[in-house]
Structures are given as C-alpha cells and as structure tokens.
Chains A and B, each alone.
Chain A
Amino acid sequence: MKRISLTLLIISVFISVIAQTKKPVAKKPASKANAASAAVSPAVMERGKVVYNTYCVACHQPDGGGVPSMNAPIVKTPHVLGAKPALIDIILKGMQGVDILGESYSNVMPAHNFLTNQQIADVLTYVRNNFGNKASGVTAAEVAAVRNKK
C-alpha cells in the first residue's frame, strides 16, 4: 500500500511537471463569429496575416505579445478591442511615448500610412480576431473615412 501511494505520488509529480512545461493552449482560430462581431471571412484573415507578417511581426511578435518594455502587446488591450477610428489612427500616424496600461515602451511604432486602406482594414481585422482577441472587423471604407478626415 505504501509503495502504491509512493508510486502514485511520483507519477502525479511527473504529470504535474509535464503539465507545467506544456506550452500554453494554442490560440483559438477566430473562425466562428459570435454576436459581437460580424462574420469575418477566412480570405480577409488570410490577407491580414500576410500584412501582419510583412510589417508588424518583427515588433509585435508571432503571438502578438510584443517585447517587454519595448514593443507593446496587442492582446486584449483597450486600443485593440475599442473604437475603430482611434485604432485606425494608430496605424496611420504611428505612436510613441504613450504609456499603455501602466507600462512604457521605448520603441517607436512607425506610421503605416503607406499601406492601402484595404491592407490596413485587413491587418486590423486580423489583429482584432487573433491572439485571443474577438471584435468586429474593419472595412476599407472605415479606414478611408479616418484617412480623409485630416
């Protein structure tokens, strides 16, 4: 009996060690739209991913988690999930020296006004429905409205 309980103990220790070293649960693909977001088509997500991997991934990283004290994370933050015009503005004009959720970031977020309205719409839709984020998509018309406001 003693031996069995010792075995169980050791096995459970091993299991818990394995459980601890396991990678975090893979991000849910943002396929099924819920009430909060209109259906986001896989084609848009695919295009958004291409823009992200070309222009954003170096700083914000493949998991959207950014780099501590340097590049802000874009996971479930008020800017990412919040009002679209302000978010579009960050992409068009860039951002620097703004504390986000009490943290400061030393790097610069360059203005990405050289991207087309469609590219910005796609990448923001992708960001808002990836990395654990869930929010409505962004359209090229919405980007155009912010760009033309001036």
Chain B
Amino acid sequence: MNIFEKLDYTILNYKINLSGAVIGCALLALVSHQTKAQTAGLTMPAGFKAEIIAENTGRPRHITVTKKGDIYVKLFRKVDDKGILMLQDKDGDGKYESRTSFGNYIGTGIYLKDSYLYASSDEGVFRYKLDANEHVINPDKPDTLVKGLVSRRQHETKSLVLDNDGNMYVNIGAPSNSCQVNDRQPGSPGQVNCPILETAGGIWQFKIDKMNQSYAEGVRYATGLRNVVGLDWNKQNNALFVMQHGRDQLTMFPEYYDVKQSAELPAECMYMIKQGDNAGWPYSYYDPFQKKNILAPEYGGDGKKEADSKFINPVAAFPAHMAPNGLLFYTGNMFPERYKNGAFVAFHGSWNRAPEPQKGFLVAFIPFKDGKPSGEWETFADGFSGSPEKTASGRADHKPCGLAMGPDGALYVTDDSKGAIYKISYNK
C-alpha cells in the first residue's frame, strides 16, 4: 500500500464517518425535537403529552376552566393594571391567543361553580355572575363576599374552594414562620398562646351568597395551619383537603438540627380537615422519619419530644420545603383509571433547603380510594425547572402553581415564574 492509497482510504473513511454523523445528528435532532414538542420539555408517564397553550401571561397563580374550555387565571401581579386574565382559543388550534382581563386587584385564588366565578384578593373574596357561556357579565362590578382579612406581606395570598352546601373555605396564612416574638430571628422565643391564630394560620368558612362578610360572620373552620395555598374539596367523602407549607429555618437551632436535617424537616403535609381540627402550628411540626408530630423548638422542643396529641396527623407527607401551591382531585375520564379521584399536587419548588440542593418544581400524584390515600406519592410531571442543575440551584425556568381540569379531562398547570400555561393530555 503506497502512501497515496493510504491517504485516499483515510479520506474515504472520514467521509463515510462524517455522513454517518450527519445523518445521526439530524435524526437525533428530529427525534428530540419531536419528543420535546409533544411534552413541552416535561417528563411524564408513558402515554401522556403536554403542550404550552399560552405563554407570557404574567404570573398566573390558580386557574379554572369553563365547560367550553375557556380559562380564567388569577394573577400574582397586575398586567395592564388588571389581575384576572381570561384566555380563549377562538380558532380551535389549541393555542389560547385571545386574552381579555379585568379585576383591578392582585391575588391567588380563583374558582368557578354554578354560574359564578369567585376570585380572591389578598384581603377578601369577590364574586362575578356568569352568563350561559360562563363569561363574566359585569367585570367591573363584582359582589364583595369577604373583606378585611389579615394580609401582612408574608403568606398573604388567599386560596379558596367551595363545597356543595353553599359554603366557601378561605385560607388565611400566618404572617410569620413560627410565631416567634421576633419573626425568624435566632434565639427569639415562641409567643405564648400565639395571638396570630385568632385571625390567621387557619381556614375560615364563609357563605357563598352573603355580602361583606369578615371575621365576625365567618367561622374558623380549622386552625394550626401555617399557610395553605393548594386546597380542594373531595366529593367522595365530602371533605376539605389542604396542603400546608411547613415551617422554615430549623437551622436557627443548631444544637438540635444540622443543615441536612433542617433541609429535610418538616414534611410538606396533606391534611383532611374536619370542622374544629387543629394541625398544630406553631407548636408542632410533622417529622416524616419519626412519623410523629414533634414539639417545635421555639416552644421547648428538641427534635424528639412529641407534641400534644390533640393535633391531627397528616394523611400524606411529602419532602420538606417543596411548597405545594396547587391541589386537584382528578374526577375526569381522560386519564387511565388509576388516576380517578386521586390527587395531583403542584410543587412550586423549595428555597429553604439552601445550602443543600433545592427540590420540587414538579407535579406529583397520589392515588386515592374512598377519599383516603391508597398508595405512596409519585412524581407525575417533572422538568419544569429546565435541568437538574436548575432544580438544585432553585433558579428554575418554570414554577408549577395552579391546577385545573378541563371539560375533556385534560390537566392544566400554571407556571407563575415565566407565565406559561401547560395542558397535559393522555392518548389511549
């Protein structure tokens, strides 16, 4: 073999390799493009697909979908001076390009039932009458159902849900981490008979047809709940279910908790609520490893002493600090049978795990039977953050917040960071 032959051979070989690589790259690009387009960057169980049906909507929190598939979202910050956005897909192409907005207040809660749309500001609840198409008749003149609720910056948002008996349940978050004399200050003791609980740190019940209610007209339905954002009414056992945002900063007590323990404690808890229940905040927290309510260190706890047995136990426990912002019982027929009546939970993602890696930015699922969890929770849709690194740093692209079910049984998820709205469907 002379040198020229060898050269020729090499070039040929190189060419072959290159074209192989080109085809490979092109195929790879095509495949990844296709799967990306069908999942909107999310990972889900087989058979599910996701698409982003609206982008840049501001900071959408909770969401509700009408019988005809129109969408209402409540905005965390105003866009064009408005706090409620209505999205429509008028041409039926799957993209919700038509937008109208109303309501000159920010907030989180929105709920649709029996020809009324209910929406919360950070201080109260308004109601809008709907027409036959479930469109708001008089967007500038809502009824004021509830007003004057505590809103002191921290845990200020109000979430709401209705039962089937004319009542509404509103979360009033505690403007505090653990009811210390000086909030979040190392060494500051817990306040005796935490006064915050009189007007916050619980769920209040109001009537859906009485104007201008406030604390005097409402009922403190449950107490000892630090802050609830995700909540839903379970129609199988006719009970309220809530997801609590557990307390932060156990690192203030380095004698009892190291950095790792503080990142993993306490669990983010799901509670089934009966009238009069007390979930223990600020006096206790739930430790998912000991499977017990533990006395809070601000109130004499040491990480081991058990709390008063009058406090209720959670029905399900999720990893700490993941910030559950949406809860939805799935009653549709589109998803496989095992999802029926189970709970989806949107986790906004943690920050209080630092300097440990952050967690969350996902939608979880937990199966239910007869109104009780019937198995372990599992990750349903992940990848909102953009990458494992972005999850770990907490610098997520998208943060799941609100959940709703469409008339066809599809699941809608809001992202209050970049303003995307996802629709997750199942193909048999």
User: CB distance B22 to A10 under 8 Å?
Assistant: yes
User: CB distance A13 to B29 under 8 Å?
Assistant: yes
Q: Tally of A-B residue pairs with Cβ under 8 A?
A: 72
Q: How far is the CA of A57 from the CA of B188 in the complex (A)?
A: 19
Which residues, 20 to 41 on A, are CB-close (under 8 Å) to B? 21, 23
Chain A: CB-nearest residue to B184:
A110
Chain A: CB-nearest residue to B176:
A108
Cβ–Cβ < 8 Å partners of A18 in chain B: none
Cβ–Cβ < 8 Å partners of B393 in chain A: 62-63
Cβ–Cβ < 8 Å partners of B188 in chain A: 110
Contact A21 to B387, CB < 8 A, known contacts A70-B351, A107-B154: yes
Residues of A within 8 A of B (CB): 3, 6-7, 10-11, 13-14, 21, 23, 53-55, 57-59, 61-63, 65, 67-71, 94, 96-97, 104-108, 110-112, 114
Q: How far is the CA of A13 from the CA of B29 in the complex (A)?
A: 10
Q: How far is the CA of A54 from the CA of B262 in the complex (A)?
A: 12
Q: How far is the CA of A7 from the CA of B21 in the complex (A)?
A: 8
Cβ–Cβ < 8 Å partners of B354 in chain A: 57-58, 61-62
Q: How far is the CA of A53 from the CA of B355 in the complex (A)?
A: 8
User: CB distance B248 to A3 under 8 Å?
Assistant: no
Q: How far is the CA of A137 from the CA of B277 in the complex (A)?
A: 53
User: CB distance A3 to B355 under 8 Å?
Assistant: no
Chain B: CB-nearest residue to A67:
B351
Cβ–Cβ < 8 Å partners of A107 in chain B: 153-154, 184
Q: 3 closest Cβ contacts across the A-B interface?
A: A110-B185, A67-B351, A110-B184
Q: What string of 1s and 0s marks CB contacts (under 8 Å) between B149-164 and chain A? A: 0000111100000000
Cβ–Cβ < 8 Å partners of A61 in chain B: 351, 354, 394
Interchain residue pairs with CB less than 8 A apart (17): A13-B29, A21-B387, A55-B186, A58-B248, A58-B249, A61-B351, A61-B354, A62-B393, A65-B395, A69-B76, A96-B153, A106-B153, A107-B153, A108-B183, A110-B188, A111-B182, A114-B186
Q: Is the interface of A mostly helix, strand, loop or mixed?
A: loop
Q: Does B144 contact A (CB under 8 A)?
A: no
Contact A7 to B355, CB < 8 A, known contacts A61-B394, A63-B393: no
User: CB distance B21 to A57 under 8 Å?
Assistant: no
Cβ–Cβ < 8 Å partners of B21 in chain A: 7
User: CB distance A68 to B417 under 8 Å?
Assistant: yes
Q: How far is the CA of A69 from the CA of B75 in the complex (A)?
A: 14
Q: What string of 1s and 0s marks CB contacts (under 8 Å) between B1-41 and chain A? A: 00000000000000000110110011001000000000000
Cβ–Cβ < 8 Å partners of A62 in chain B: 354-355, 393
What distance in Å separates the Cβ of A50 from its nearest Cβ neighbour in chain B? 12
What distance in Å separates the Cβ of A125 from its nearest Cβ neighbour in chain B? 20
Cβ–Cβ < 8 Å partners of B153 in chain A: 96-97, 104-108
What distance in Å separates the Cβ of A71 from its nearest Cβ neighbour in chain B? 7
Q: Does B352 contact A (CB under 8 A)?
A: yes
Q: Does B251 contact A (CB under 8 A)?
A: yes
Chain B: CB-nearest residue to A96:
B153
Cβ–Cβ < 8 Å partners of A108 in chain B: 153-154, 183-184
User: CB distance A106 to B156 under 8 Å?
Assistant: yes
Q: How far is the CA of A54 from the CA of B184 in the complex (A)?
A: 13
Chain B: CB-nearest residue to A14:
B25
User: CB distance B251 to A58 under 8 Å?
Assistant: yes
Cβ–Cβ < 8 Å partners of B26 in chain A: 10
Cβ–Cβ < 8 Å partners of A71 in chain B: 351
Q: Does B187 contact A (CB under 8 A)?
A: yes
Q: How far is the CA of A54 from the CA of B156 in the complex (A)?
A: 27
Cβ–Cβ < 8 Å partners of A7 in chain B: 18, 21-22
User: CB distance A58 to B352 under 8 Å?
Assistant: yes
User: CB distance A111 to B22 under 8 Å?
Assistant: no
Q: How far is the CA of A108 from the CA of B76 in the complex (A)?
A: 19
Which residues, 234 to 278 on B, are CB-close (under 8 Å) to A? 248-249, 251, 254
Q: How far is the CA of A148 from the CA of B351 in the complex (A)?
A: 35
